Structure 1
Amino acid sequence: MLIGDVARRSGVSTRMLRHYDALGLVRPTGRTVGGYREYSAEDVRRIFHVESLRSLGLSLKQVGRALEDPAFTPSDLVSDLVRQTEDRLAREQELLERLRAIDASAPTDWQGVLRIVELMRQLNSTSAAHRQRAVLSRPEDAPVPAELLAGAVLTESDPHVAGALRWALARSGGDGVATLHAGMHSEDVGIRRRAVLAIAEIPEAPGATAVLTDALGDPDPTVRRHAALALGRQGVAAAVPTLISMVVEGANDVDAAEVLGMLSLDPGCTDRIMTALVDELAAPTADSATRIRLTQALVEIAGTTAQEVLGQLAHDEDGAVALVASALFGVLKERSLEGQADEHS
């Protein structure tokens, strides 16, 4: 079979076939009377072997070794190719993210593009101070894509830089929730924690409430607590069970009690909160410290029921609980009398 026929049937150009011949990869076994290359069926099969190995990413040198060297083990080669391909994909993914960030900024000139590229470079600095300055020193007339800031938030481990990024994200004019939402599905708990903190600071962004509500079911308690505090401040009653648990466990219990107080301003939520607090106070597993925290939380709750419960707890068998309840009962009573005086003045 002449070289032209082989090229048509194999899809390999005549130029490449001559190159294979020159390298010794596929040498035609015969020549015509006129000196033209003549390929046998075995030669054509070898061409297909070469093309198959090239499709895996092997260099022509590696292809030659694979076909000729019996000591050239496929497993080692494939493992190397896997690592090389993963590295290449990571680089291309990074490039894709950069291009998307630039595209999201809708630059009108190359100066805008260069500003975004420079910010990306600065955010990759090994110095936390440099990264923080890069975020805080952006001029007002140089908007930063929310998606870029959101992506940086998810990977930033320094708390000061992360705070600056969340601040910039909140005032960026974009929401970035889609990027942060993707972070909420990460197996890395650190990424999920950073994502929920950032979403909590842009509660008005479309989709933020739904993402935070989903986060109440996160396996990590810290993620659940951040979500509950943010939702409670928005008046979302679904946060109540987690907030009650925070008081019981002593995890940001003061913040949780304050948010429960805000939620109790809604009459439809007051009974739910009071029932949960009273049930926890009566739980046989509740120790003295836990009951004191629950007692302290009662002072934040709107309505007269909390005051009545505090009055009962002032006579509790646990002296420490009774002492705290008595003091808080006095505070609520004095507050009530001041309110009545204001009404009559």
Structure 2
Amino acid sequence: MLIGDVARRSGVSARMLRHYDSLGLVRPTGRSHAGYREYSGDDIRRIFHIESLRSLGLSLREVKRALDDPDFTPSELVDDLIRQTRERIAAETELLTRLRRIDAAEPAGWEDVLQVVALLQALGAKSAGRRQRAALSSAGDVSVPVEALVEAALSETDPHVAGALRWALARSGDDGLALLARGLGSPAADVRKRAVQSIAEIPDGEATALLRDALAGPDVVVRRYAALALGARGVTDAVPTLIDMVVEGTNDVDAADALSALASQAGSADRIAAGLVGRLAPGALGAPGAAGPAARRRLAQALADIPGPTASRALADLAHDDDRAVALTATYVLGLRDER
């Protein structure tokens, strides 16, 4: 079969067949009387073998080795091809993500495209200072797509950069909430924590709904951040968790401040006071099973700004506590309440 016929039937161009011949991949078995290449059935089968191996990503050099070396084993080469393909897919996926983010920024011209690319690169820089400047710059005329901000916020370990990213997300409104909600379900505890911290700074009704969900979740750290944020928003569902924080000594000052703010709502003061008093002890103060001295001292401090007789009676009892530090704290707090 002449080269033109082979090209038509195999789909491999005559030019490529000549290239295969020059490389020694497929040498025609014979020549016609006029000197033209003639391919046998075995030659054509080899051509199809070459094309099959090329479809796997092998180079022509690797194809020749595979077909000509009787000791060749494909496993190592296939493993290498798998690795190369994965790397190529990762690189292409990263490029696709970057292109989508540039498109989401709706650039008006190439200058805008270049600015978005520069900001995206800066968000992934090794320098914390550069990442922070990129976050602070993201709310400019050409902003970073919110998806990139969320990704950066959920992975950022530097507290200053993280704060800048949360600020940028808060300025972007509720566009990133759906992505941050996914962060709340991450298997990584640090990601869940960063997600709730970011949501807490978005002053939006949908953010409040997400924080309510987080308050009922299994992650105690997430619940605590959600409770502090909800307390600042006047959501009384946060009260039990805030009281737990006071007792446990976890962000207890912030938790007490949130309880104080919530106590200003109609009908909330008595409920909060009862919750705090209920954690002091079953029975007499200082009895076995009661809250320890450190917890009683924190509870006394938390009761300081809770109005009403329930808080006052509890503080009066604490002023006679067996632990001197607790008694002094309660006495001091009572003095402040009397001056008001």
Same fold per superposition (TM over 0.5):
yes
Corresponding residue of 1:342 = none
CA distance in 2, matches of 1:71, 1:218: 59
Distance 1:248 1:173, change over 3 A: closer
Corresponding residue of 1:290 = 295
Q: Which TM-score applies when normalising by structure 2? A: 0.79
- Aligned sequence identity (%): 59
1:176-195 matches, cutoff 5 A: 176-195=176-195
Corresponding residue of 2:247 = 248
1:125-164 matches, cutoff 5 A: 125-136=125-136, 140-164=140-164
Contact 1:107 1:113 in 2 (8 A): yes
User: Structure 1 counterpart of 2:156, which letter?
Assistant: E
Displacement of 1:176 in angstroms is 1.9
In the alignment, structure 2 segments of 5+ residues that lack a partner are 283-288
Distance 1:228 1:174, change over 3 A: closer
Displacement of 1:125 in angstroms is 3.0
Please state whether the residue corresponding to 2:211 is helix, strand or coil.
Answer: helix
1:44-193 matches, cutoff 5 A: 44=45, 50-69=50-69, 72-136=72-136, 140-172=140-172, 175-193=175-193
Is 1:229 paired with 2:259? no
Distance 1:79 1:187, change over 3 A: farther
Contact 2:124 2:131 in 1 (8 A): yes
How big is the alpha-carbon RMSD for the aligned residues of Structure 1 and Structure 2?
3.5
Please state whether the residue corresponding to 2:108 is helix, strand or coil.
Answer: coil
CA distance in 1, matches of 2:4, 2:234: 77
CA distance in 2, matches of 1:304, 1:78: 78
Contact 1:257 1:297 in 2 (8 A): yes
Is 1:334 paired with 2:333? no
Q: Deviations over 1:65-99 (max 9, x none)?
A: 34444554444334333332332233223222322
CA distance in 1, matches of 2:30, 2:269: 94
CA distance in 1, matches of 2:70, 2:241: 64
Q: Deviations over 1:90-125 (max 9, x none)?
A: 322322232222222222222222221122233333
Q: Deviations over 1:159-216 (max 9, x none)?
A: 2222222223322456322332333333333333322222211131x63233333433
CA distance in 2, matches of 1:247, 1:67: 74
Please state whether the residue corresponding to 1:276 is helix, strand or coil.
Answer: helix
CA distance in 1, matches of 2:305, 2:78: 64
Is 1:299 paired with 2:308? no
Query: What is the number of residues matched between the two proteins?
Result: 331
Distance 1:108 1:317, change over 3 A: same
Distance 1:291 1:71, change over 3 A: farther
Q: Which TM-score applies when normalising by structure 1? A: 0.78
Moved more, 92-101 or 66-75: 66-75
Contact 2:153 2:194 in 1 (8 A): yes
CA distance in 2, matches of 1:3, 1:240: 85
Contact 2:214 2:222 in 1 (8 A): yes
Displacement of 1:251 in angstroms is 1.3
CA distance in 1, matches of 2:167, 2:98: 21
Corresponding residue of 1:340 = none
Moved more, 284-293 or 313-322: 313-322
CA distance in 2, matches of 1:287, 1:19: 86
User: Structure 1 counterpart of 2:318, which letter?
Assistant: L
CA distance in 1, matches of 2:216, 2:89: 33
CA distance in 2, matches of 1:271, 1:50: 83
In the alignment, structure 1 segments of 5+ residues that lack a partner are 336-345
CA distance in 2, matches of 1:88, 1:189: 30
Distance 1:217 1:50, change over 3 A: farther
User: Structure 2 counterpart of 1:322, which letter?
Assistant: A
Contact 1:229 1:239 in 2 (8 A): yes
Distance 1:32 1:120, change over 3 A: same
CA distance in 2, matches of 1:75, 1:272: 70
CA distance in 1, matches of 2:117, 2:214: 33
